[in-house]
Amino acid sequence: MAVPWHPRSWAPLAAALTLLLVTGCASGDVPPPTVESSSAAPAPPSGATPGTPTPLTSPDGTDGGTGVEQDIDAAVSVTTTYWQTHWPELFTGGYNPPRILGTYDGDTPGTPVCGSEPLPDDNAVYCPDGDYIAWDMDLMRWGHARGDAWVYLVIAHEWGHAVQNRLDAGLVDLARELQADCLAGAVLFGAAQDGTLTFEEGDTEELADALTALADRTPWTDISDHGDASQRVGYFSRGARSGVKSCLPNVVP
Ligand SMILES: [Zn+2]
């Protein structure tokens, strides 16, 4: 049942996503579409040999086709590749990926700590002290049951915090959580443009659903912390349409 959204057709996909996501929401904070200057050429970056793109939805069109662990591995791989490939085009200085601490269970004794605090139950984190990304498997399973796009969004978002931690302070938005959503949009849609990730029918709805569900969830989505649903969708859409630079304050995309 899945009609593949091929990577080259990302523009209509982005338009569809934007339309879907901003319908009924204030969208005044979304700038007019612009082309990410660093990737005006749609060809994959040199050195990046697209193999078989990671499908965001399994080939048979059902999310049940891939396990949550498999999707997590794919999301980590896609996000790693995106930042390694594009960092030199975007920023000065080298790029070192964060560590992947991976799965924890916030409900049991022995939960890893960030600083002196145990990692939060049913949550996902980037921990600056230790420079690692980790997620409670309960959060991932809960979201994955709604659609596999969930794990891609959560991992790309947390990775956005790792990127913030590598930037000059002037490039970090005061609304750090919303900027992380913007960076997640830039990564997932940029990966589709690169041919490392394939969107299929239903994925945009899943992303919209995930952003909305996350906005309803606490503590990952405490409004004071992460913004309300329309804000999250607006920032994600901006990154999806206009790329990483559109997520950075004081930078003309
Ligand atoms: Zn966050």
| Burial class, 73, CB count within 10 angstroms (exposed 0-12 / middle 13-18 / buried 19+) | middle
User: With helix as H, strand as E and coil as C, how does 182-237 read?
Assistant: HHHHHHHHHHHHHCCEEEECCHHHHHHHHHHHHHHCCCCCCHHHHCCHHHHHHHHH
Continuous segment of H or E residues that includes residue 124: strand 124-127
Tokens describing residue 146: 């709604």
- Please give the residue that has the higher pLDDT: either 200 or 125: 125
Ligand 1 center to residue 19 CA distance, Å?
24
Those residues with Cβ within 8 angstroms of residue 146's Cβ, 6 or more apart along the chain or in another chain: 206, 209, 210, 213
Is the pLDDT at 8 greater than 60, yes or no?
no
Interface predicted TM-score of the whole assembly (ipTM), two decimals: 0.98
Q: What is the pLDDT of residues 20-56, one digit of tens each?
A: 443 322 222 333 332 233 333 333 333 444 456 676 7
Ligand 1 center to residue 122 CA distance, Å?
13
Ligand 1 center to residue 180 CA distance, Å?
6
- Please give the residue that has the higher pLDDT: either 20 or 201: 201
Ligand 1 center to residue 159 CA distance, Å?
9
Nearest to 35 by CA among 9, 11, 18, 6: 11
Q: What is the mean pLDDT of the chain?
A: 77
**Residue ranges per domain, the chain?**
4-21+51-247
Nearest to 248 by CA among 190, 188, 189, 163: 163
- Please give the residue that has the higher pLDDT: either 250 or 134: 134
Grade residue 128 by pLDDT with cuts at 50, 70 and 90: very high
Ligand 1 center to residue 226 CA distance, Å?
7
